[in-house]
Amino acid sequence: MKNVLGLLCLLVIVIALAIIPLFGLRALVQDLFMVLCLLVLALNWNMLAGFAGLVSVGQQLFVGVGAYVMFAAAILWGLDPLTGGLIGGLVAMVLAVPVAFFVFRLNGAYFAIGTWAVAEIARLSFSQWRALGGGTGTALPRGAARDMPGVQLIRDVLGVSPAAAVDMLTYWLALGLVVAMLVASWMFLRSRMGLGLQAVRDNPVAARSVGVDPVRLKALVFLLTAFATGICGALIFIQTGRISPDSAFSVIDWTAFVIFIVVIGGIGTLPGPIIGVLVFYGLQSLLSDYGTVYLIVLGVLGIVVMLFARRGLWGAFTQWTGFDLLPLEHTPPKSAETGDRGKT
Amino acid sequence: MSALLEISELTAHYGDFQALFGVDLVLGQGQTLAIIGANGAGKTTLMRAITGIAQVTAGTVTLDGKRIDPLTAPDILRAGISMVPEGRKLFPSLSVEENLMIGAHARKGSGFWNLARVCELFPVLAERRHQPSTSLSGGQQQMVSIGRALMSNPSVLLCDELSLGLAPVIIREIYAAFPTIRESGTAIIVVEQDIGQALQVADTVHCMMEGRITLSGRPGDLSREAIHDAYFGITHS
Amino acid sequence: MIWLDTLLQGLLLGGLYALFAAGLSLVFGIMRLVNLAHGDLIVLGAYVILGIGTAFGLNPFVAALIALPLMFLLGWVLQTVLLNRVLGDDILPPLLVTFGLSVVIQNALLEGFSADSRKLPVGPIEAESFSIGSVSIGVMPLVTFGSAILVILCLNWIFYRTALGRAFRATSDDAVTAQLMGIRPKRVFALATGIALVVATIAALYLGARANFDPSIGPARLLYAFEAVIIGGLGSLWGTLIGGLVIGVAQAFGAALNPEWQILAGHIAFVLILLVRPRGLFPRAYD
């Protein structure tokens, strides 16, 4: 019953978000687009760090690679950016294989530093790609975004300018990506593999003894999140229209913010990133007049959460109310022997 | 005989699991007390509770009339209780001498025990003092662990399972040091599964089972049968 | 003989990286704490030296002497009120807290000092150099290198020859048993972080004296420092020095091939070494 209520709630929110562009608030749509993209990244990082125990500080690698491949597809190979983005995601996933080969040899903190070093290598290497502007970067060719499939349709139906139509399309795609990520992570976490993953997180020795192979599971999560992160990266830079190595491989924008979002919202919970992104957006809008103050507040908030509420705002909320929007636990089957418990 | 260490109604938990149920114990000045019992009887928990490593949930521990149960482990050591932990627990990155020296980390002023006296007690350590502690045999490591605990000049020395994993001849060698330790004025509590050894050195013996003391008395007064029954939990009704 | 010159410049640069890394190595070795704010703390140290120097009209070397105890205190307080609370088996909380700290320090510096590049005015020594044969050596890089060796020697002396160092090693081995010896691990950790920040301040002096700095450069220094620590192996201070030298030399040779490849070459050297030796060059036998 609770489950149905929760899903209904989400459905209403998604529909509400979906119709926002129809009211023509372009600035809001652009803002929300970024929020949705950060949410996608946060959901991915939460899968990595919160469920698979892989604390990566290098997810900007996959954002950047997805974005750069999309640019290469659009500029060098003349493909449309959406197809380019899909290829970007695939390339990110393929690249994750050798990266995993390297970073999976490292434990804990070494893993974090290793992923970051690899992302730096990628940033510096892409700076050498002269055809895409080297260190200064480049812009999408005029019209490339406007020629994307769907843009013309939106223009015809809604009668808006090409730029507004591009914004709408990318917004809806981002929203779709969020929904897809939510559904996929929920299904994955409730599957045999997902339960195995959580078992590994909670007790690696016991999990291994019942036949869960932690490395394979973690590698799978690493590859899948690389794919989703790459696609999201491409989408972000379709909307932005400009790319440079520093912006595409920014550890602050694509990893630091994302980590704070997840930590503040509640690491290792599904709704956590959603709460976190709302807090992030709220802070950013509230403190937009005070320069980087919101970053300081964000950092302090992250520290406070880690000190006093390790499961973040959502974890604190569920603890207080006992209500969980997207429960991951399987309800244990009612057993006839329940009454005998405690006697043995 | 005045009470040096007095434990009353001591209760301790490991998470949700209650390991001690209201243990009472009195140790007199210069006395040696043995606690025997099977695996899981709560002996080690009792030692860890006294030294402040395990959380005390109820009851009191007083040393020289001062309550020590609210103190942290480092402060309990400073108050005068030192432990030879189960499994010896030497510091692998420290040499033999450094392991002994670290026992005196919190010591202020001088006392009977110092590096020279410990080396007199266990001469083999003097020869090996610059070796890594990991290179010693089990018995020698146990000697370092005892020496390390003595270096703080404790008024009470707790020895947790000294004989665990050691050959009988080595165990005798280690227990041969006890008279000297007692002469230095240190009161001792030994926790043992090896009943014979415990009965030889102790003035008083307590048997523990399932977190409670089930039998107490002088070694001479207790029959073998009574000890065995208490040890294995057989009750005659 | 151009490669000899490159090698030498690389080694001297590596001395600076070893200074970045030495404090990190100490803290990491003792309490397994990954301080992601270490780079920003070095940059903070540079601003503290700059501030003291400007306020009292002092040479940066003198200003650094005043900054040392201040930074020690900062480290002690930081560990006591913040980091001790998050140490434990789970590496995530300390990682995230220091990450938060990094962002806070960076942006607080940005608010306070703006994004402008600064430099510590050390005077004429900055440009001085001398030649051995065909190779020219800058005095400042040489002083930096010498300081790095001195710092490692000092840290090693503390670690292996003093009661404090004994307590460091014992706590690192087994914190619970260390408490039975009367050691208070949290105090030991606070001292260690204090010492680490003293070393960070020395690093800050040379960082600011040799090149421009601004509030944003911390994370990159942290990465070099961490690479040096990992290459050297957990808990080995001499290993950390070697790690710093490896990164420095790799960067120098990268730069010799193409100036844009300098940083890249350092990171690639790190990855290559870790591929061959995942625990670094000189890992401790037990941990």
Question: What single string gives the DSSP state of each residue in A215-251?
Answer: HHHHHHHHHHHHHHHHHHHHHHHHHH-EE-HHHHT-H
Nearest to C181 among B93, B103, B134 (CB): B103
Q: Please indicate if any CB of chain B lies within 8 Å of the CB of C186.
A: no
Query: What's the rounded Cα separation, in Å, for the pair A274 and A157?
Result: 31
Are A211 and A308 within one domain? no
Tokens coding B133 = 């502690």
Are A283 and A236 within one domain? no
Q: What is the pLDDT of residue A169?
A: 92
Which residue positions in chain C have pLDDT lower than 50? none
Residue A337 is assigned to a structural domain of this protein: no
Are A233 and A275 within one domain? no
Are A223 and A317 within one domain? no
Q: Please indicate if any CB of chain B lies within 8 Å of the CB of C181.
A: yes
**B53, C173: Cβ pair inside 8 Å?**
no
- Tens-place pLDDT, residues B11-48: 998 877 888 998 999 999 989 999 988 888 888 899 99
Report which of C8, C75, C27, C14 is spatially closest to residue C171, judged by C-alpha positions.
Answer: C27
Could you tell me the pTM of the whole model?
0.90
Is the model's pLDDT at B55 over the cut of 90? no
Residue A335 is assigned to a structural domain of this protein: no
Neighbouring C-beta atoms of residue C22, cutoff 10 Å: 28
- Say whether the A–B interface has 3 or more Cβ pairs within 8 Å: no
Number of helices and strands (H, E) in chain B? 10, 10
Residue A344 is assigned to a structural domain of this protein: no
- Are β-strands B187-192 and B32-36 bridged in parallel, bridged antiparallel, or unpaired? parallel
Q: Please indicate if any CB of chain B lies within 8 Å of the CB of C263.
A: no
Q: Are B7 and B47 in contact (CB under 8 A)?
A: no
C182 vs B contacts (CB less than 8 Å): 74, 77-78, 105-107, 152
Are A291 and A278 within one domain? yes
Mutation test of the interface with chain A: which of C96, C263, C272, C276, choosing the one with the most A Cβ atoms within 10 A? Answer: C96
Q: DSSP class of residue B112?
A: S
Q: How far off is chain B from C126, nearest CA to CA, in Å? A: 42
3-state secondary structure of B209: strand
Q: How far off is chain A from C103, nearest CA to CA, in Å? A: 6
- Lay out the sheet containing B66-67: strands in order across: B17-28, B3-14, B56-63, B66-67
Q: What is the pLDDT of residue A326?
A: 59
Q: What is the pLDDT of residue A342?
A: 36
**B94, C183: Cβ pair inside 8 Å?**
no
Q: What is the pLDDT of residue A334?
A: 45
Query: What's the rounded Cα separation, in Å, for the pair A70 and A236?
Result: 11
Question: How far, CA to CA in Å, does B201 sit from each of B25, B31, B36, B196?
Answer: 18, 10, 13, 9
Are A165 and A82 within one domain? yes
Q: Are A249 and A123 in contact (CB under 8 A)?
A: yes
Q: Report residue B235's pLDDT band, with 50, 70 and 90 as the boundaries.
A: low
Nearest to C167 among B53, B78, B105 (CB): B105
Tokens coding A214 = 């932690």
B174-233 residues touching C, CB cutoff 8 A: none
Contacts across the B-C interface (CB distance below 8 Å): 69
Q: Strand runs (DSSP E) across B64-202, as ranges?
A: 66-67, 81-84, 156-160, 187-192
Query: What's the rounded Cα separation, in Å, for the pair A202 and A181?
Result: 23
**How many domains in chain A?**
2
Which residues, 6 or more positions from B52, have their beta carbon under 8 angstroms from its beta carbon?
A: B68, B69, B71, B72, B73, B75, B76, C179
Q: What is the pLDDT of residue C24?
A: 93
C275 vs A contacts (CB less than 8 Å): 102, 105
Q: What is the pLDDT of residue C285?
A: 56
Q: What is the pLDDT of residue B35?
A: 92
Query: What's the rounded Cα separation, in Å, for the pair B124 and B122?
Result: 6
Nearest to A124 among C95, C101, C263 (CB): C263
Tokens coding C84 = 């001790």
Query: What's the rounded Cα separation, in Å, for the pair A342 and B14?
Result: 18
Q: Are A280 and A260 in contact (CB under 8 A)?
A: yes
**B152, C181: Cβ pair inside 8 Å?**
yes
Last residue of a domain, one of A230, A249, A268: A249
- Are β-strands B156-160 and B81-84 bridged in parallel, bridged antiparallel, or unpaired? parallel
Identify the closest residue of chain A to C230 by CA–CA distance: A110
Q: Are C11 and C245 in contact (CB under 8 A)?
A: yes
Q: How far off is chain B from C217, nearest CA to CA, in Å? A: 36
Are A177 and A311 within one domain? no
Neighbouring C-beta atoms of residue B168, cutoff 10 Å: 11
Which residue positions in chain A have pLDDT lower than 50? 330-344
Tokens coding A46 = 């939460």
Q: Are C186 and C97 in contact (CB under 8 A)?
A: no
Q: Report residue B234's pLDDT band, with 50, 70 and 90 as the boundaries.
A: low
Q: Please indicate if any CB of chain C lies within 8 Å of the CB of B133.
A: no
Q: For residue A344, which amino acid is it?
A: T
Phi, psi of C118 (to 5 degrees): -125, 170
Are A243 and A272 within one domain? no
Q: Are B81 and B50 in contact (CB under 8 A)?
A: yes
Nearest to C267 among A57, A120, A299 (CB): A120
Q: Are C174 and C69 in contact (CB under 8 A)?
A: no
Is the model's pLDDT at B131 over the cut of 60? yes
Are A90 and A152 within one domain? yes
Are A261 and A157 within one domain? no
Phi, psi of B19 (to 5 degrees): -105, -25
- Tens-place pLDDT, residues B205-216: 998 888 888 888
Which residues, 6 or more positions from B58, have their beta carbon under 8 angstroms from its beta carbon?
A: B9, B10, B11, B22
Domain architecture of chain C: domains with CATH: 2-276 (1.10.3470)
Residue A261 is assigned to a structural domain of this protein: yes
Q: Which residue has the tokens 């602050």?
A: A252
- Tens-place pLDDT, residues B83-98: 999 999 999 999 999 9
Query: What's the rounded Cα separation, in Å, for the pair C229 and C225?
Result: 6
Q: DSSP class of residue B185?
A: T
What's the rounded mean pLDDT across residues B132-140? 92
Q: What is the pLDDT of residue B144?
A: 95
Last residue of a domain, one of A203, A233, A249: A249
B158 vs C contacts (CB less than 8 Å): none
- Tens-place pLDDT, residues C194-222: 999 999 999 999 999 999 999 999 999 99
Nearest to B73 among C170, C173, C180 (CB): C180
| Domain boundaries, position A204 | 13-249
Residue A329 is assigned to a structural domain of this protein: no
Are A311 and A232 within one domain? no
Q: What angle do CA B52, B54, B58 make, to 5 degrees?
A: 85
The residue ranking higher by pLDDT, C38 or B230, is: C38
C132-161 residues touching A, CB cutoff 8 A: none
Are A48 and A159 within one domain? yes
**Mean pLDDT, chain B, whole residue set:** 89
* DSSP structure string for A138-172: EEPPTTTTTTSTTHHHHHHHH---HHHHHHHHHHH
Q: Are A127 and A135 in contact (CB under 8 A)?
A: yes
Describe chain A by its helix, strand, coil percentages, rounded to 5.
75, 0, 25
Q: Which chains touch B (3 or more CB pairs under 8 A)?
A: C
Query: What's the rounded Cα separation, in Å, for the pair A237 and A132?
Result: 14
Q: What angle do CA B170, B171, B173 make, to 5 degrees?
A: 60
Q: What is the pLDDT of residue C180?
A: 95
B78 vs C contacts (CB less than 8 Å): 182
Question: How far, CA to CA in Å, does A245 sit from each of A66, A67, C222?
Answer: 12, 10, 20
Query: What's the rounded Cα separation, in Å, for the pair B204 and A60?
Result: 68
Neighbouring C-beta atoms of residue B218, cutoff 10 Å: 11
Nearest to B106 among C177, C182, C284 (CB): C182
Which residues, 6 or more positions from A53, have their beta carbon under 8 angstroms from its beta carbon?
A: A200, A201, A218
Question: How far, CA to CA in Å, does B54 sit from each of B21, B197, B214, C189?
Answer: 14, 27, 22, 22
Q: How far off is chain C from A84, nearest CA to CA, in Å? A: 27
CA C59, chain centre distance (Å):
22
Number of helices and strands (H, E) in chain A? 16, 2
Residue A195 is assigned to a structural domain of this protein: yes
Tokens coding C148 = 């790095």
Q: What is the pLDDT of residue A34?
A: 94
Query: What's the rounded Cα separation, in Å, for the pair B136 and C214?
Result: 54
Is residue C132 within a helix (H) or strand (E), and if so which, with residue range? strand C129-132
- Are β-strands B81-84 and C129-132 bridged in parallel, bridged antiparallel, or unpaired? unpaired
Residue A185 is assigned to a structural domain of this protein: yes
Q: Please indicate if any CB of chain B lies within 8 Å of the CB of C183.
A: yes
Residue A6 is assigned to a structural domain of this protein: no
Report which of C180, C153, C164 is spatially closest to residue C30, judged by C-alpha positions.
Answer: C164
Nearest to C173 among B53, B83, B91 (CB): B91
- Are β-strands B32-36 and B204-209 bridged in parallel, bridged antiparallel, or unpaired? parallel
Report which of C10, C16, C9, C11 is spatially closest to residue C211, judged by C-alpha positions.
Answer: C16
